[in-house]
Amino acid sequence: MPEHPRATAWKGLRLMHVHAHPDDESSKGAASTAMYAANGVDVHVATCTGGERGSILNPKMDRPGILENIHEIRRQEMERARDILGVSQDFLGFVDSGWPEAEKEGDPLPPLPEGCFGLVPVEEAAVPLVRLIRSFKPHVLTTYDENGGYPHPDHIMCHKVSVFAFEKASDPDWHPELGEAWQVLKLYYHHGFNRPKAQALHEAMIAHGLESHYGERLERWTKDDAWDARVTTHVPCSDYFGVRDQALLAHATQIDPDSWWFATPRELEDEIWPTEDFELVVSHVETTMPEDDLFAGISNNEGPS
C-alpha cells in the first residue's frame, strides 16, 4: 500500500493500546493500528491477561484436550496476530477472570474466581502498566469505556486500570522505582461497535438484498443520542480492513471464519463506514473536533524520542 500522506508527521510517534485478552487487539481498532504501524508509528499492545479461561469459539478448533493447553495456544495466536499488525506486545501477567453466567435468568452471577484479574486491586494491577508506559513513552493511549465495551469483568477492569495508569504514569511521586514519570498526551476509548455504524451497515445490507446480522442487535440496542454522540474521532483506515481480518483469523480458537465477523462484504464496509471510531477523553494538546487522526494536535517532536 502507498505511504500515507501523514507518514512523515507520524514517524517517531508512539501509540499504546491496552486490551483485556489476546484477540481484543484484532477485534478493536486493528485496521487503524495496522495503518499507523505501516506508516512509521511505533505501536505497542499491552495485554492484561492470557485469556486462560476463554472458550473455544471456533467449532473447527474444538477438539478433545485443547483447553488443557489453551494458555500456550493463545500466546502463539497472539504472536501471529502482532506480526500481521506490525506491532510489539507485552502480557501484563494477570489471569483471565472468565465470563461468569447465571444458571438461569434472574439468578445473580457467580463470584469471580480467586486470583483473577477482575479481583486485583486497581493500584496493584496498574503497576506493570505504569512501568510499561514509562518505558515505552506513548504519546497516545487507548482503552475501553467505563462499560468495558461490553460488561466482561476483565474489560471493565482494563478500563479502570488504564485510566488510573494514564494519570499515575506522569506522577513522579507514584512508585518512582517504575521509571521516570511520563505524560501521555491523549487518552481515547474505543467505540468500534457504536449504534450509528451498526445502523448504517444494516440499512446498506438490506438495500443490497443481503441478510443483515445487525438487525437483531439493533432491536436490543436502546437508542441513546448522548451515548451515540460520544465518538469524537473517525480514523479512515479501510485500506487495512484486510489486515484486520487476517489478524482476527490468527486467533483461530476465538474466531470462526464463517461467523458474523466476516458477513459484511468488505467493499460495502469500505463504502458505508471506512473508519474506526474513538472517543477522546483527555487531551493535553490543543485539537479540533471532530478529529480524523489519533495524533491530531501532536507533532513528532513532542517529548523525548
Q: Tell me which H or E stretch contains 234.
A: strand 233-236
The CATH label, of 3.40.1350.10, 3.40.50.10320, 3.40.50.720, 1.10.1370.40, for the domain at 7-194+231-283 is: 3.40.50.10320
Which of 100, 103, 57, 49 minimizes the C-alpha distance to 78? Answer: 49
Residue 106's region, left for phi above 0, alpha for psi from -120 to 50, else beta, is: left
For residue 148, give the amino acid letter.
G
Binding residues are: 21, 24, 155
Q: In whole angstroms, what is the distance from residue 44 CA to residue 293 CA?
A: 17
Read off the pLDDT of residues 277-291 as tens digits, 9 standing for 90 and up.
999 999 999 999 999
DSSP state of 187: E
| pLDDT in the model for residue 300 | 78
Read off the pLDDT of residues 99-118 as tens digits, 9 standing for 90 and up.
877 666 667 778 999 999 99
23, 75 in Cβ contact below 8 A? no
Binding residues for Zn(2+) are: 21, 24, 155
Cβ-Cβ contacts under 8 Å for 268 (sequence gap 6 or more): 201, 204, 205, 208, 210
Helices H, strands E: what count in the chain?
Answer: 11, 7
Report residues of the chain scoring pLDDT below 70. Answer: 102-106, 302-305
Quote the pTM value: 0.95
Q: In whole angstroms, what is the distance from residue 233 CA to residue 278 CA?
A: 5
| pLDDT in the model for residue 67 | 80
141, 16 in Cβ contact below 8 A? yes
- Domain residue ranges in the chain: 7-194+231-283
Omega before residue 290 within 30° of 0, cis: yes
- Which strands make up the sheet holding 233-236, listed edge to edge? 88-94, 42-49, 14-19, 140-143, 186-190, 275-283, 233-236
253, 66 in Cβ contact below 8 A? yes
